[in-house]
Structure 1
């Protein structure tokens, strides 16, 4: 195959190919596109690729290539698409990327490349650039802000320390990902951000307040500043971002109340909100929940989507188009799903979650939350909430996890919750709930851990039984295991049967005493008559024969 000197396109994407790329690839001098992404190819990247002067697209991503990036690749002056992501490439970058003057797409993510910032300049037409998940360190240079056409910048999961303030002036930027570095200082002001859709700064050491200039980013869909040291009140002004879908403020120093009954908080497109592990207090904001329109619509019934509206099934990611090459750039975030922090690679609009846990919220849980029909996850744990679990929670038929633990909730568990057949995780522990635990459907799968710390609860799976008058029933030992629960209940019936047996024997004894007394002979004669006398005579005759 590599003797075909006139071969122009070679695409072997997504197969099970192994081994190395042969050096004979240099014979394919007419090759324009060489794409072998998503295979099991190994060995070094052949230096001979540098002889392919007509090469326009080189796609070696998602393989097992080893060693350095060969400097000879920089000799492919017509290269516009270069993808080396998800390999085992090591060392430092060999030279100046700016020598590839036609380059528009460059992805070196998920490798083992190390060192400080490797470039002094970028190709002028670069649109997509990613070096995420490597071992780069040092400062991100200021000159990067001079890129006029860049849409996608991803420097996440490295060891960069400084963030240039001018990043907020890149008017064509669509996605900026600086997650999980060592960035410190304040978040830059965003002045020219009319096209920005995703801003992810989680997992750094950023301080100060959230810049109000973000209101100028009218197309912003994802804002993630979680796991930093941001010190601010709740940014109510974010209601001016009509497209906002994901708001992650988790694990910062946000404080104060979110709002009162007069505060208008309308986030019509918001689908994921995480305010956990902060210092918020006050009542849960009813005005916020009643305006989460995207969480009310789009209920899922029997696997069919209803009332979704146009574009509801669209992924919130960025797609790069260049001629016949289409690349889906997965827009991911990290959220708490069923008690575990998980990287959600593609953020479907079907995923709707609320997490206000580990704050100091008080008051009752707003009943309006029962109208959020498409909600998948709800976490209000570790607050100071009082009152009852709303009966309207039974309407949340798409809910998969519910955590209300470590509050001060009272009353019983609404029987309506058994209608949530999709519920996989339930945690109501460490409250003041009372009464019987609902039985049936998903509730039969929950263990003691879902209810521990509620001394007034009874029924399966707790060892405390329920009854009309609990004082009349013996209290089961807390050491009885669940497997012995049925036996313990059956033991009461054995006691009853033993009582009947004792009564029967007692009746026979009393009858014997009555019939053996002299005063009762007339009764025996009256009842048995001549038959009784015949029995007595037959016994006498029998004794005579024996004698």
Structure 2
């Protein structure tokens, strides 16, 4: 209903009691008069992200019982709700609300259900949480609440979410008296250890999440201690050193998460009977497990065993598994042929010692979305036949010993977003035909044996429309940098508003990662922000000038063209890369002045212009005040405030060989620069501007007159002072 004007709801009948407009894509200002309807009992406006609501300060609709404004835009302050005496259900989640949780909610005697998760509320937990007599459902998860949890004076709570905050301290003893609790999600920082067996008193518990809460298993296991109705249990990062035996009778579990603990050795045999018919998700990652004898769970869909010490042989996974992660273990032998699993979507075998070849049948799967076998020891070629109509989204073969060319059947992977072939022995020309993949966002080919030009083919037209990360470094590419190539990188020019939100690349239970180089240091990004953009062409044989068209890539964060044979000037258009955070043009043959336009790069944190043939003063202002001399070394004709070579207005800085527009500077030309430097003392912007114009124009006479006048004014000013 995005075309519907919200004001059209102003003439609604006064007898209306129920109004539901959730998930309607409404936009604009919601009419305040709706809140005053005399008979309205239920109002649900949730999940209209562009709908703006302003709560009235007085005269609310007194019979209102249910109010849901989640995932909307609030304007103004969060108004008091005291006069809504009949309100039982209130939800304002994911609304970017901040400040303290409203005290006025404690004055609503009928309040039963309240949801305020995914906001920015701070301060301590509201006092009404512990005293309201009718509260059954409370969700304050994922805010910025601090402090401790007080004792509960009411036993009405059935569902309580306090996870994703900054709470600390001990678990109050009264929580074990909340006999009606079915769901409890709680994170506590630096808490003292609480005995897990105490929670067996809560016989109605179905969902329990105590991630990041220190737990102990000090009480000896008793046969009658159990969670008879428990279906989901998360005890991640709880400092456990063994499997809790209290789970022995938990035969209804569908989800079990014991990740990030200190559990070691083998999985005990009694675990095979836990949720044997019901368990669908098992996460034992980031422990010290060495052996798994069997996987008896018939309905298992998600299995996460990464970051352990597991060794081969590994048992055959269940037929209906969807997600399998065995990354960062000690697995050896050949890569398993997981080919008969009809709905498998994610296979992550990275960071092991597996060898052999990558099975052809795995890339022919009709369901597979992610195949990650990076950092193993396979050999041979990349599988040659990628079936048409496949669902592959991520292929990560980085850090193996793969050889040969890239198979052109990869064009059948029309859903591919990430292709990482870095750190192999691939010998091939640039796969320009990958530019036809409509969704490809990440292409990493670094540290291989690629050769030739990357734009010489006549078939290379409007290519790579979605590409955001391009790493061709450490290869044998050569030729000129093509203007047309950079003009095709549309996704690096302007990220749309949706992609500017804090999102990461990946699919369910798997997030893409990538390695990038910043000023010579490799950085492994465990998650890839959808706003991250980079180009790395370093350590190749590119020559010629840097195309000014790079300046159109306004969303670019990192640009590395170092260790090539690039010539000419640094294009002033690089000053248009307003999002740039790192720029490395070192070890080339660049000449001339550093463009003053680069001062406008206010996000620039790393700069390397070393080992070139640049001349003149280094820039001042903004980020250039923070760079050290290692950003400029190897340019003997540069001068400036942090260099040993100071800019002397009385002496000409004579370059050995500087070229402007293909011609060496004459003595008279350098004199013109010395005169321009006299303007430096009167004002850096004026001096640099004049100097740059004198050196880059063929008719500097009028500029020299301006310099002369400016110099005289400066001298007069000095004498007066």
Normalised by the size of structure 2, how large is the TM-score? 0.60
2:291 aligned residue:
92
2:270 aligned residue:
72
Instruction: For 1:24 and 1:290, locate their aligned partners in 2 and report how far apart those are by CA, in whole Å.
Output: 70
**TM-superposed deviation, 1:21:** 8.0
| Secondary structure of the corresponding residue to residue 111 of structure 1 | coil
Q: How does 1:95-244 map to 2 (within 5 A)?
A: 95=294, 97=295, 99-114=296-311, 116-119=312-315, 121-142=316-337, 144-162=338-356, 163-189=358-384, 190-191=386-387, 194-244=390-440
Residues 27 and 36 of structure 1: CA distance in aligned 2, closer, same or farther (over 3 Å):
same
Instruction: For 1:174 and 1:13, locate their aligned partners in 2 and report how far apart those are by CA, in whole Å.
Output: 32
List alignment gaps of at least 5 residues for structure 1: 299-306, 320-327, 474-488, 490-547
Q: How does 1:12-411 map to 2 (within 5 A)?
A: 12-20=209-217, 23-24=221-222, 27-28=225-226, 30-46=228-244, 49-76=247-274, 77-78=276-277, 79-89=279-289, 91-95=290-294, 97=295, 99-114=296-311, 116-119=312-315, 121-142=316-337, 144-162=338-356, 163-189=358-384, 190-191=386-387, 194-260=390-456, 263-298=460-495, 307-309=496-498, 314-319=503-508, 328-411=509-592
Instruction: For 1:165 and 1:343, locate their aligned partners in 2 and report how far apart those are by CA, in whole Å.
Output: 29
| Secondary structure of the corresponding residue to residue 55 of structure 1 | coil
**TM-superposed deviation, 1:6:** 4.5
| Secondary structure of the corresponding residue to residue 380 of structure 2 | strand
**TM-superposed deviation, 1:26:** 6.7
**TM-superposed deviation, 1:37:** 3.4
**TM-superposed deviation, 1:146:** 1.1
| Structure with larger Rg | 1
Deviations 1:388-436 (A, max 9, x none): 0000111111111100000011111001111111111111111111111
**TM-superposed deviation, 1:311:** 8.3
Q: Which has the higher helix share?
A: 1
Q: Does 1:431 align with 2:612?
A: yes
Residues 471 and 393 of structure 1: CA distance in aligned 2, closer, same or farther (over 3 Å):
closer
Higher RCO structure (Cα 8 Å, ≥6 apart)? 1
Instruction: For 1:351 and 1:11, locate their aligned partners in 2 and report how far apart those are by CA, in whole Å.
Output: 36
Instruction: For 1:7 and 1:472, locate their aligned partners in 2 and report how far apart those are by CA, in whole Å.
Output: 83
Instruction: For 2:546 and 2:653, locate their aligned partners in 1 and report how far apart those are by CA, in whole Å.
Output: 36
Instruction: For 1:267 and 1:419, locate their aligned partners in 2 and report how far apart those are by CA, in whole Å.
Output: 29
Does structure 1 retain, via aligned residues, the 8 Å contact 2:211–2:236?
Answer: yes
Does structure 2 retain, via aligned residues, the 8 Å contact 1:2–1:25?
Answer: no
* Runs ≥4 residues deviating over 6 A: none
Instruction: For 2:375 and 2:478, locate their aligned partners in 1 and report how far apart those are by CA, in whole Å.
Output: 28
Instruction: For 2:439 and 2:561, locate their aligned partners in 1 and report how far apart those are by CA, in whole Å.
Output: 25
List alignment gaps of at least 5 residues for structure 2: 1-197, 655-680, 682-721
